[in-house]
Amino acid sequence: MEPIFLIGFMGAGKTTVGIALSEKVNLPVIDADKYLEEKQGKKVNEIFEECGEEFFRDLETEVLKELSRKENTIITTGGGVVGKRENCELLKESGTVIYLSCLFDSLWERLKQDQTRPLVSQNNKKQLHELFQGRASLYESCSDIIINTEKKQVEQVIEDILVLFSDTKA
């Protein structure tokens, strides 16, 4: 089976849902950012700080190319992966893409105290909202399945994914 990608804005729960889904369906999960960090021996925020965002984006594309060849695997992606058309095309042609959608205010509640994400520390609420609005249509056009995660427990999100996933395969 082709890989399953989870996409969505920062704070949408991709990592948490990825792990829970992996346990539910008994498939391995790879977090693309963690994979990138291990390869580079540096944290994402260190890469942003020392080499800039563009350098990080090139690494992100490289990692995506590598991971998109994995079979029977769940891949959780960074929120900015849809920023490059090349990445979107790769996602669409390589596997099933699941977009975890959420309202900006809910994301902001989770993100506002975050110290680990460079784009959260570099931007205020208004700037992040603009980033969110700019990306929303990209997430939608990249995805095969859209899951509204608003006010849902992880278990419910997994249920919704499984129902819609089996529909796409029917």
Given candidates 20, 44, 59, 64, which one binds ligand S3P under the rule CB under 6 A?
44
Q: Which two tokens stand for residue 24?
A: 């539910």
| x/- letters, 115..154, toward ligand S3P (CB under 6 A) | --xxx-----------------------------------
The span from the first CA to the last CA of the chain, in angstroms, equals 14
Residue 6 pairs with which residues in a beta bridge?
Answer: 76, 98
Position 58, amino acid: D
| Cα(118)–Cα(134) distance, integer angstroms | 18
CA proximity to 81, closest of 135, 120, 123:
135
Using CB under 6 A, which of the segments 17-25, 92-100, 101-109, 113-121 binds ligand S3P? 113-121
78 binds ligand S3P (CB under 6 A): yes
Question: φ, ψ for residue 127 (rounded to 5)?
Answer: -65, -40
98 binds ligand S3P (CB under 6 A): no
Given candidates 79, 107, 139, 143, which one binds ligand S3P under the rule CB under 6 A?
79
Residue ranges that bind ligand S3P, judged by CB under 6 A:
10, 14, 33, 44, 78-80, 117-119
